[in-house]
Amino acid sequence: METMTTNGIKVSVENKYRPDYSHPLASRYVFSYRIIIENQSAGTVQLMRRHWFIQDASGKLKEVEGEGVIGKQPILAPGESHEYSSWCQLATPFGRMYGSYLMIKKPVDEPFEVKIPEFRPVAPYLLN
pLDDT digits (tens, 9 = 90+) for 66-100: 999 988 999 999 999 999 999 999 999 999 999 99
Q: Taking the CB of residue 28, how many other CB atoms lie within 10 A of it?
A: 12
What are phi and psi for residue 26, nearest 5 degrees? -100, 15
Q: Say which CATH superfamily domain 2-116 falls into.
A: ApaG domain (2.60.40.1470)
What per-residue confidence (pLDDT) applies to 128?
Answer: 59
Q: Span 95-119, mean pLDDT?
A: 96
15 strand-pairing partners: 33
Where along the chain do its domains lie?
A: 2-116
Contact 5, 40 (CB under 8 A): yes
Quote the percentage of the chain above a pLDDT of 90.
Answer: 93
Q: pTM to 2 decimals? A: 0.91
